[in-house]
Amino acid sequence: MAKLNTDSNVYTIVYSVVLVVIVAVLLAVVNQGLKARQEANRLLDTQKQMLVALNQDIDNCDDPAALYDSLVKDTIPCGATSVIVFDVDGQTKYMLRLHGQGLWGGIGGYMALNDDRNTVFGINFNHESETPGLGGEIVTEKFRSQFFGKHIKDAEGNLRSIAVLKEGKLAPEGQEQVDAWAGATITSTGVNDMIAANLEEYREFLMAEQKNCCKGEMKPCCKEQMPCCQAEQKQCCEGEQKPCCTEGEEKCETLNTEETDNGTK
């Protein structure tokens, strides 16, 4: 039998090809074997982020996945995205996904709204590579807590987002704001733009209940304190927007009658 020439170019090339094939096969097998676990870890991380946005204490929770499953109730399609519905202590919360661009990479998070589709119940942010101590601080409780209780609509019911501004700067009238993180201007601007752009993606969902209410199609939501209904009712009574006021015209007639009886008309 001829002795194998290990010094030849052919041997080197064949050996290299065989080695590469073996390593590639092994990596493929390992990757396939870990794929299910990787997907499970990604899902758990997403669930944890939403639980934080729902103000749940995941640090002292033995099974975050079980807690998530106990709170989630439904998913509502909204254009190219969706809204996840939760029940927290008997109250409905709507979860919106956020995604945008920071200084060094992508930023994202989740915003939980109360049943009014206006008031922020909680929020959580994440980032890929923002600077520690600066832009990376958007994940802290100190920054996130500023959003709690803020409103994404103005007093007239118009979608306005929440401005993230440097200290001393003021948002346009009717828009609520929070303070940007000092020294992280670009990241803070990214958070500001991300929230505004993502809320626009959810506009149909965010304005749907308000629209139905003002048309008299959803009476339970149409309380006196709802800004949109007040505005639409006023416009209806003044004859400026009758088409929207199917339910309100009877109330307008009543109001006009009372004014006449009181001698104020």
Q: Which of 199, 224, 53 is nearest to 118 (CA)?
A: 199
pLDDT-based confidence at residue 32 (cuts at 50, 70, 90): confident
- pLDDT above 60 (res 233): no
- pLDDT above 90 (res 201): yes
pLDDT at 35: 73
Strand ranges in 12-115 using DSSP code E only, listed in sequence order? 72-78, 81-88, 91-101, 106-113
The mean-pLDDT minimum among 72-86, 93-107, 239-253 falls in: 239-253
Q: Which residue has the higher pLDDT, 218 or 85?
A: 85
- As a whole number, mean pLDDT of residues 174-196 equals 95
- Judge whether 248 and 233 are in contact, CB under 8 Å: yes
- As a whole number, mean pLDDT of residues 2-18 equals 78
- pLDDT above 50 (res 219): no
Q: What is the pTM of this model?
A: 0.70
pLDDT at 13: 86
227-237 vs 203-214: helix axis angle to the nearest 10?
A: 50
Query: Mean pLDDT of all residues in the chain?
Result: 83
